[in-house]
């Protein structure tokens, strides 16, 4: 059980770092049109062409898969244990609505990631679907792909609403990851709880408002 939990914690922390980088990059989208287009496209081209980033991307995909698979295994295990009448959560901190529903929140995020990768990854990397033009430098116009997606109000609502489960999942997940990795000191835990809350709010609000800002451009 500890091994599974540690894998979830370590992959989760790596995904949290990815989200900080991803949000910083996507913040470019709120800049004025021409600046945003050239910065976003050159950032995206640099990412796709760097061999180092390609390795990091494979680590990212592997982390997502391991995080989901081990989380599912633990959720199934806990359900079985509960059905047999065993106590699963021993800590007060672990009995909030969010902690009881991490599986449900995780599945919502997985749904978001599948739609998101079909929207961007499949279009940009595999060249599938419509709206994939080239920019002035002959590279995929990622800004245009993003801009045209967020002209569709349904996608704006979908991207915004799904940031609620993301925020809740990150809030509890970050705290739990530190606890799994051995941070039990009471004062330290209070700081970790505060940092997790601030982190989750920044991620959920940050990713949540970008589609509306692009829609209104
Ligand atoms: C405003 C919201 C977001 C926008 C505009 C956005 C945009 C993008 C774009 C343009 C790409 C393709 C990058 C490229 O290949 O050049 C991408 C990839 C990706 N995004 Fe997002 N994203 C958003 C939110 C999120 C969130 C909340 C998550 C996770 C919960 C996420 C996870 C990913 C993943 C895993 C990839 C694949 C990375 C790779 O292949 O290197 N994104 N996103």
Distance CA 8, CA 178 (A): 11
CB 57 near ligand 1, within 6 Å: yes
What tens digit of pLDDT does each residue of 40-79 get? 999 999 998 999 999 999 999 999 999 999 999 998 888 8
Integer CA distances (angstroms), 125 to 91, 121, 138, 145, 187, in order:
44, 5, 15, 12, 46
Average pLDDT, the chain: 90
Task: Write down the residue that tokens 């997985």 correspond to.
Answer: 110
Integer CA distances (angstroms), 79 to 4, 88, 103, 151, in order:
16, 9, 11, 42
CA neighbor of 1 nearest in space, from 81, 108, 64: 81
Question: What are the backbone dihedrals phi and psi of residue 32, each rounded to the nearest 5 degrees, phi first?
Answer: -55, 145
What tens digit of pLDDT does each residue of 128-185 get? 666 578 888 778 899 999 999 999 999 999 999 999 999 999 999 999 999 999 887 7
Integer CA distances (angstroms), 160 to 34, 49, 120, 141, 213, in order:
25, 30, 16, 23, 11
CB 116 near ligand 1, within 6 Å: yes
User: What separation in Å is there between the alpha carbon of 120 and the centre of ligand 1?
Assistant: 7
Give yes or no for a contact between 9 and 190, defined as CB atoms under 8 angstroms apart: no
**Per-residue confidence (pLDDT) for residue 129, from 0 to 100:** 61
Can you list the domains of the chain with their CATH numbers? 2-216 (1.20.1300.10)
Tokens of 1: 């059980």
Tokens of 148: 């045209």
Distance CA 210, CA 148 (A): 13
**Per-residue confidence (pLDDT) for residue 128, from 0 to 100:** 67
CB 36 near ligand 1, within 6 Å: no
């Amino acid at each position: 059980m500890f091994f599974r939990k540690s894998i979830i914690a370590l992959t989760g922390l790596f995904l949290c770092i990815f989200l900080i980088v991803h949000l910083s990059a996507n913040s470019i989208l709120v800049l004025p049109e021409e600046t945003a287009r050239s910065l976003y496209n050159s950032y995206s081209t640099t990412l796709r062409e760097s061999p180092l980033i390609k390795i990091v991307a494979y680590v990212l995909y592997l982390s997502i898969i391991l995080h989901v698979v081990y989380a599912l295994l633990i959720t199934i295990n806990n359900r079985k244990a509960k059905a047999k009448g065993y106590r699963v959560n021993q800590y007060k901190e672990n009995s909030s609505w969010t902690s009881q529903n991490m599986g449900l929140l995780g599945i919502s995020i997985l749904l978001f990631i599948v739609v998101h990768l079909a929207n961007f990854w499949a279009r940009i990397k595999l060249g599938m679907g419509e709206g994939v033009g080239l920019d002035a430098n002959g590279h995929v116009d990622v800004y245009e792909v993003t801009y045209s997606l967020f002209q569709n109000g349904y996608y704006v609502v979908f991207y915004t609403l799904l940031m609620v489960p993301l925020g809740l999942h990150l809030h509890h997940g970050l705290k739990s990851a530190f606890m799994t990795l051995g941070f039990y000191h009471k004062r330290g835990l209070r700081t970790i709880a505060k940092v997790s809350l601030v982190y989750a709010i920044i991620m959920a609000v940050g990713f949540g408002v970008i589609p509306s800002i692009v829609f209104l451009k």
